[in-house]
Amino acid sequence: MKVSIIMGSDSDLPTMKDTAKTLEEFGIKYEIKILSAHRTPEELKQYIKQAEENGTEVFIAAAGGAAHLAGVIAAYTTLPVVGVPMDSPLMGFDSILSMLQMPPGIPVGVMSKGSWGAKNAGIFAAQILSLKYPELKEKLKQYKQKMASNVLEKNKNVSL
């Protein structure tokens, strides 16, 4: 099982480390590339083809501003594309809308902005892959159980 994480700039790396960390927690292999839809369009196109040939099953794309990276990747592949909008001078609203408002026919699954979305992209990729890899389904169940236990544990000492 393999995921390709593509980001438009190395300035996205500090946020996207949460995606890598989450995939590692689930034992999913990943590859990270810095490729931009507008700065390196040819190389991006070539990489998508190469990644598919090398076993990528899900693409995760991070970009900010006029964030068309995820949509461009979706144009070149039939694999699922998960988009993570990065923060921007416009508080990331431009990134969110650029990723979210794909016209009919070329969908992108868009997460929330920044580190929340980065983490959720890893979990969402695990959920997609769990349709094929049953061991991931089990790990996802355990992950949710642990999260619930952590919340319930707080009730033991809750006070104002």
Binding residue (CB under 6 A) for ligand RP5 from 20, 35, 63, 125 = 63
Closest Cα partner for 2 from 157, 134, 128? Answer: 128
Check binding of 117 to ligand RP5 (CB under 6 A). no
Query: Is residue 18 a contact point for ligand RP5 (CB under 6 A)?
Result: no
- Distance between CA atoms of residues 104 and 119, nearest Å: 27
65 lines the binding site for ligand RP5 (CB under 6 A): yes
> How far apart, in whole angstroms, are the C-alpha atoms of residue 68 and residue 97?
10
- Identify the CA nearest to 51 among candidates 106, 99, 6, 85: 6
Using CB under 6 A as the binding rule, whether residue 92 contacts ligand RP5 is answered as: no
The residue among 7, 11, 29, 10 whose CA lies nearest residue 122 is: 29
Residue closer to ligand RP5, measured from CB, 38 or 49: 38
Considering the rule CB under 6 A, would residue 64 count as an interface residue with ligand RP5?
A: yes
Give the count of beta carbons closer than 10 Å to the beta carbon of residue 90: 12
Nearer to ligand RP5, 63 or 81 (CB): 63
Q: How many degrees, rounded to 5, is the angle at CA 20 between CA 104 and CA 5?
A: 40
Does 9 bind ligand RP5 (CB under 6 A)? Our answer is yes
Residue 86 interacts with ligand RP5 (CB under 6 A): yes or no: yes
Span interacting with ligand RP5, options 49-57, 61-69, 105-113, 148-156, rule CB under 6 A = 61-69
- Site residues for ligand RP5 per CB under 6 A: 7-9, 11-12, 36, 63-65, 86
